[in-house]
Amino acid sequence: MSRWIKMVLLEEKPKTNVWSIQTIESGLEIGIIKWRPSWRKYCFFPDNETVFEEDCLRDIANFIEDKSIQHKQGG
Protein backbone atom coordinates (compact mmCIF):
# COMPACT_ATOMS: atom_id res chain seq x y z
CA MET A 1 0.00 0.00 0.00
CA SER A 2 2.73 2.45 0.92
CA ARG A 3 6.35 2.94 0.00
CA TRP A 4 7.53 3.83 3.53
CA ILE A 5 5.00 2.51 6.04
CA LYS A 6 2.83 -0.52 6.67
CA MET A 7 -0.37 -0.97 8.63
CA VAL A 8 -0.32 -4.05 10.86
CA LEU A 9 -3.52 -5.27 12.52
CA LEU A 10 -2.90 -5.26 16.28
CA GLU A 11 -6.31 -5.96 17.71
CA GLU A 12 -9.53 -7.17 16.15
CA LYS A 13 -12.43 -6.12 18.34
CA PRO A 14 -16.10 -7.01 17.84
CA LYS A 15 -16.91 -3.58 16.38
CA THR A 16 -13.59 -1.84 15.61
CA ASN A 17 -9.94 -2.68 15.02
CA VAL A 18 -6.56 -1.23 16.00
CA TRP A 19 -3.60 -1.02 13.59
CA SER A 20 0.05 -0.34 14.28
CA ILE A 21 1.71 2.01 11.79
CA GLN A 22 5.26 0.79 11.26
CA THR A 23 8.18 1.75 9.05
CA ILE A 24 8.82 -0.79 6.31
CA GLU A 25 12.57 -0.42 6.70
CA SER A 26 12.89 -1.21 10.43
CA GLY A 27 9.43 -2.25 11.63
CA LEU A 28 9.51 0.58 14.19
CA GLU A 29 6.04 1.60 15.36
CA ILE A 30 5.40 5.28 14.71
CA GLY A 31 1.76 5.39 15.82
CA ILE A 32 -1.57 3.59 15.85
CA ILE A 33 -4.92 3.93 14.13
CA LYS A 34 -7.98 3.26 16.26
CA TRP A 35 -11.64 4.20 16.47
CA ARG A 36 -12.44 7.54 18.13
CA PRO A 37 -16.03 7.23 19.38
CA SER A 38 -16.65 10.96 19.85
CA TRP A 39 -15.70 11.62 16.21
CA ARG A 40 -17.33 8.40 14.92
CA LYS A 41 -14.33 7.55 12.73
CA TYR A 42 -10.87 6.04 12.79
CA CYS A 43 -8.05 8.42 13.75
CA PHE A 44 -4.26 8.38 13.76
CA PHE A 45 -2.46 8.64 17.10
CA PRO A 46 1.24 9.32 16.34
CA ASP A 47 3.97 8.45 18.80
CA ASN A 48 5.91 11.31 20.38
CA GLU A 49 8.85 12.71 18.44
CA THR A 50 7.71 11.29 15.09
CA VAL A 51 8.07 13.17 11.81
CA PHE A 52 6.04 12.63 8.64
CA GLU A 53 6.22 13.81 5.05
CA GLU A 54 3.35 14.23 2.63
CA ASP A 55 3.40 10.71 1.14
CA CYS A 56 3.17 9.03 4.54
CA LEU A 57 0.45 11.43 5.70
CA ARG A 58 -1.51 10.83 2.49
CA ASP A 59 -1.21 7.03 2.89
CA ILE A 60 -2.36 7.25 6.51
CA ALA A 61 -5.27 9.54 5.60
CA ASN A 62 -6.39 7.25 2.77
CA PHE A 63 -6.22 4.20 5.05
CA ILE A 64 -8.26 5.98 7.75
CA GLU A 65 -10.85 7.12 5.24
CA ASP A 66 -11.22 3.62 3.73
CA LYS A 67 -11.55 1.93 7.14
CA SER A 68 -14.04 4.54 8.41
CA ILE A 69 -16.21 4.08 5.29
CA GLN A 70 -16.06 0.28 5.63
CA HIS A 71 -17.06 0.50 9.28
CA LYS A 72 -20.03 2.76 8.55
CA GLN A 73 -21.17 0.38 5.80
CA GLY A 74 -21.11 -2.51 8.25
CA GLY A 75 -17.99 -4.20 6.96
Query: Range of 24's domain?
Result: 5-72
- Per-residue pLDDT tens over the stretch 9-23: 999 999 999 999 999
- In terms of Cα–Cα distance, which of 38, 1, 41, 35 is closest to 19? 35
Is the confidence at residue 1, as pLDDT, over 80?
Answer: no
> What's this model's pTM, rounded to 2 decimal places?
0.91
The whole-number pLDDT of residue 74 equals: 85
- Per-residue pLDDT tens over the stretch 35-74: 999 999 999 999 999 999 999 999 999 999 999 999 999 8
**Counted domains in the chain:** 1
Amino acid at 34: K
C-alpha atoms less than 13 angstroms from C-alpha of 27 in its C-beta half-sphere: 0
Q: What is the arrangement of strands in the sheet containing 29-36, beginning at the earlier edge strand? A: 5-12, 17-23, 29-36, 41-46
